[in-house]
C-alpha cells in the first residue's frame, strides 16, 4: 500500500484491567487501519525513561511510570492513510474530560494517567517508538481481501 503511514499504539494497564482491549482494538479495525504488529510488552523503568523523556521534569513522572508498569501493555503498529494523525483523532485529547465525544478517551475514561492508550504524535515519534518497541521481524506485511475496499479506488 503506497503512501500509507505506520504508527505505534500502546494499550495501557487500565485498558487491560477494565477489559477494554477488544473494544479499543475494534475501533481501529472498524476505521480500516491494518494491524501489522501486536504483542504484550512488559515495560521497565529504562524503556519508560526513554518513552516519556519529554515528561521527565513533571511532578507526576514517577507515578506515571509506576502506573505503566502495573501490568503488561499491548503494543500495536497500525497502518493506514495518515495513520499518525487519524489514530490520534480516534484516541482523543490527553485529558479524557477535554476529549471529544466519540473518541476512545472520552467514551471510556475520566482521568490521567489512566486514559487507556498511547499513540505516536508525529512522524518522528512514530519512527522512534516503532523501533523502541518492535523488532523488524515482528512486523508483518499481508494482504486482506478487503484492502481494495478500504485503501483502493473501488474498482
Ligand atoms: N499524564 C499525566 N498527567 C498529566 C499529563 C499526562 O498523568 O498531567 C500522562 C497521561 O497518561 C498521558 C501521558 O502522561 O497519556 C503522556 O503525556 P502526553 O502529554 O505525551 O500525552 P499523550 O500523548 O498521551 O496524549
Ligand atoms: Mg505523547
Question: What per-residue confidence (pLDDT) applies to 155?
Answer: 56
Question: What is the CA(45)–ligand 2 centre distance, in A?
Answer: 17
Question: Over the stretch 14-26, which tens digit does the pLDDT of each residue have?
Answer: 999 999 999 999 9
Q: Which of 34, 10, 16, 14 is nearest to 133 (CA)?
A: 10
In this prediction, residue 152 has a pLDDT band, given cuts at 50, 70 and 90, of confident
Q: In the annotation, is 51 catalytic?
A: no
Question: What is the CA(15)–ligand 2 centre distance, in A?
Answer: 17
Q: Are 77 and 140 in contact (CB under 8 A)?
A: no
Q: Are 45 and 101 in contact (CB under 8 A)?
A: no
Preceding peptide of 113 cis, ω within 30°: yes
Amino acid at each position: 500500500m503506497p503512501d500509507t503511514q505506520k504508527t505505534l499504539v500502546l494499550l495501557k494497564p487500565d485498558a487491560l484491567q477494565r477489559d477494554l482491549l477488544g473494544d479499543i482494538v475494534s475501533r481501529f479495525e472498524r476505521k480500516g487501519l491494518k494491524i501489522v504488529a501486536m504483542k504484550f510488552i512488559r515495560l521497565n523503568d529504562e524503556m519508560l525513561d526513554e518513552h516519556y523523556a519529554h515528561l521527565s521534569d513533571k511532578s507526576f513522572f514517577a507515578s506515571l511510570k509506576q502506573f505503566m508498569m502495573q501490568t503488561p501493555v499491548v503494543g500495536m503498529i497500525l497502518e493506514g492513510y495518515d495513520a499518525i494523525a487519524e489514530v490520534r483523532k480516534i484516541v482523543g485529547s490527553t485529558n479524557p474530560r477535554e476529549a471529544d465525544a466519540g473518541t476512545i478517551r472520552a467514551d471510556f475514561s475520566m482521568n490521567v494517567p489512566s486514559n487507556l492508550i498511547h499513540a505516536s504524535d508525529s512522524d518522528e515519534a512514530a519512527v522512534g517508538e516503532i523501533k523502541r518497541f518492535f523488532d523488524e521481524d515482528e512486523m508483518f506485511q499481508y494482504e486482506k481481501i478487503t484492502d481494495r475496499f478500504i485503501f483502493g479506488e473501488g474498482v
